[in-house]
Amino acid sequence: MNQKLRPLLIVEDDPALQKQMRWAFDAFETVLAEDREGAITQLRRYEPAVVTMDLGLPPSPGDVTEGFRLLGEILALAPDTKVIVLTGQHDRENALKAVAMGAYDFFGKPFEPELLGLTIDRAFRLHDLQAENARLKERQGSVLAGILTRDPGMLKLCRTIEKVAPANVSVALLGESGTGKEIFARALHGLSSRAKGRFVAVNCAAIPEPLLESELFGYEKGAFTGAAKQTPGKIETANGGTFFLDEIGDLPMSLQAKLLRFLQERVIERLGGRGEIPVDVRVICATHRDLKALISTGQFREDLYYRLAEIVIDIPPLRDREGDAGLLAHAFVQRYAAELGRGSLHLGDDAVASIEAHNWPGNIRELENCLKRAVIMTETSRISAQDLGLDKVEDNLEHLNLRQVRDEAERRAVVRVLARTNGNIARAADVLGISRPSLYDLMNRFGLKREN
């Protein structure tokens, strides 16, 4: 399937010039318009990033009034559109006026198609660059901006968070300790309609079992010795917002039934109280434990699991995130160097290689602590593998040469397809999407013999 061509709007009333431009710019989907009204229609339909337009448009080709009117309308409807105006060879005054209005560039007629083509290419690249910058600026204001990653799986996970956040469903975040489950929980809250409400978190593993019930559900005055006043629980405190239950796998069985009733009825009873209190919260839970294994051993209620895990999101460990250990390491060094007044501090190549080779069982939390300690303890401006307390490994940076990577990928593909097609050159070339001579060239380059 051919890749869809990008639309290029050409506003020109001369049929011969239209034909010439369509032929010259066949790398784009050339969309034609002969007058102002047609141009606006095509602009709304195709939303082209780049427009070329003649200033002298019908009904008075010698008059540029209609052309300037169209230019103003294009820039009003689509301010990011790059407009290249075409004028008479000696009409520099109107050309400069068009640029002052916001046109990207101008060309005098007759023009050299190659030169105009270069300007069109630059206009597309500038449009794309500005669009990317706008996207990044918008992302910086997002609650996901603090999640640093280049890993495709993590980027997909971020898109999932954005989709799930507006839905009022319970979410279970599963993953090893230190993978950032609370960060994602806060992102779900921040991207939801409850963002202005409170985000209240409770770690089920950090509170002793005798105190956990009162912490969750609250208590009335006199409910037990020391209950000197009425105290709302964390669930009630989160009313109108999000309640985050961290380490839900450590919730005692004695409280699982009470939490299940709350999830079903959306009401709570304080300790020592008799009245039901309605609470409107979104519940997000997280754990590093295998909940299904706990269910099979009778340590976790299956009906509670399905109430909590309407949506399940698995967060991968750091060792499975391609390139993220190095990316995060540089970010942590910059952060702590700035905090400690050591702005020139940087990671040495041996340190980066060691970071990428390490397994990081404690995930991001372990990596952060390691870098923070190194920033404090190192006596030079360069952090080494020894400063990190990691084994020094061979720096394999030279093996990341793109040409070598491409050659190896091509070699594996050719070998695999030749094996699949039993050495049938014609069929193998079709599968690989190349000509037979090109396949022979690849086989010669990789030292692959043709089977007779």
The CATH number of residue 79's host domain is 3.40.50.2300
d(CA 230, CA 214): 11
**Looking at residue 331, which CATH number applies to its domain?**
1.10.8.60
Domain count, the chain: 4
Q: Are 106 and 174 in a shared domain? A: no
d(CA 255, CA 304): 11
Question: Which domain-ending residue is among 261, 282, 314?
Answer: 314
Q: Are 271 and 178 in a shared domain? A: yes
Question: Which domain-ending residue is among 293, 314, 335?
Answer: 314
Q: Name the residue type at position 379.
A: E
- Asked if the structure places residue 143 within a domain, the reply is no
Q: Are 277 and 343 in a shared domain? A: no
Question: Which domain-ending residue is among 314, 343, 368?
Answer: 314
**Looking at residue 407, which CATH number applies to its domain?**
1.10.10
- Asked if the structure places residue 146 within a domain, the reply is no
- Provide the pairing of β-strand 277-278 with 267-268: antiparallel
Q: What is the dihedral of CA 331, 336, 338, 342, to 10 degrees?
A: -110
Q: Are 293 and 326 in a shared domain? A: no
- Asked if the structure places residue 451 within a domain, the reply is no
Residue in 55, 37, 49, 36 with CA at minimum distance from that of residue 9: 49
Domain region containing 419: 401-445
Q: In the structure encoding, which two tokens stand for residue 445, read together?
A: 């380059």
Burial class (CB in 10 A: 0-12, 13-18, 19+), 82: buried
Q: Are 212 and 255 in contact (CB under 8 A)?
A: yes
pLDDT in tens, the chain (452 residues): 345 789 999 999 888 899 999 999 988 999 999 999 999 999 999 999 999 999 888 877 667 888 899 999 999 888 889 999 998 767 888 888 998 888 999 888 888 889 999 999 999 988 888 877 666 655 554 557 668 888 889 989 999 999 999 999 999 999 999 999 999 999 999 999 999 999 999 999 999 988 999 999 999 998 888 888 999 999 999 999 999 999 999 999 989 999 999 999 999 999 998 889 999 999 999 999 999 999 999 999 999 999 999 999 999 999 999 888 988 998 899 889 989 888 778 888 888 889 988 999 999 999 999 999 999 999 888 899 999 999 887 655 555 566 777 888 888 888 888 877 877 888 888 888 888 888 888 888 887 766 54
d(CA 224, CA 220): 9
**Looking at residue 187, which CATH number applies to its domain?**
3.40.50.300
Burial class (CB in 10 A: 0-12, 13-18, 19+), 372: middle
What share of the chain has pLDDT > 90, as a percent? 54
Q: In the structure encoding, which two tokens stand for residue 184, read together?
A: 């994602």
3-state secondary structure 61-121: CCCCHHHHHHHHHHHHHCCCCEEEEEEECCCHHHHHHHHHHCCCEEEEECCCHHHHHHHHH
- Asked if the structure places residue 97 within a domain, the reply is yes
Q: Does the model's pTM come out above 0.75? A: no
Q: Are 233 and 292 in a shared domain? A: yes
Q: Are 62 and 30 in contact (CB under 8 A)?
A: no
Indicate the SS3 state at residue 164: helix
Q: Are 390 and 440 in a shared domain? A: no
Residue 20: other Cβ atoms inside 10 A: 14
Q: Are 367 and 436 in a shared domain? A: no
Q: Are 223 and 167 in a shared domain? A: yes
Q: Are 351 and 215 in a shared domain? A: no
Q: Are 378 and 326 in a shared domain? A: yes
Distances from the Cα of 180 to the Cα of 177, 216, 268, 359, angstroms: 8, 23, 30, 17
Residue in 305, 326, 352 with CA at minimum distance from that of residue 170: 305
- Asked if the structure places residue 145 within a domain, the reply is no
Q: Are 175 and 293 in a shared domain? A: yes
- Asked if the structure places residue 368 within a domain, the reply is yes
Q: What is the dihedral of CA 402, 408, 409, 413, to 10 degrees?
A: 160
Q: Name the residue type at position 68.
A: F
Q: Are 283 and 323 in a shared domain? A: no
Indicate the SS3 state at residue 53: strand
d(CA 340, CA 55): 60
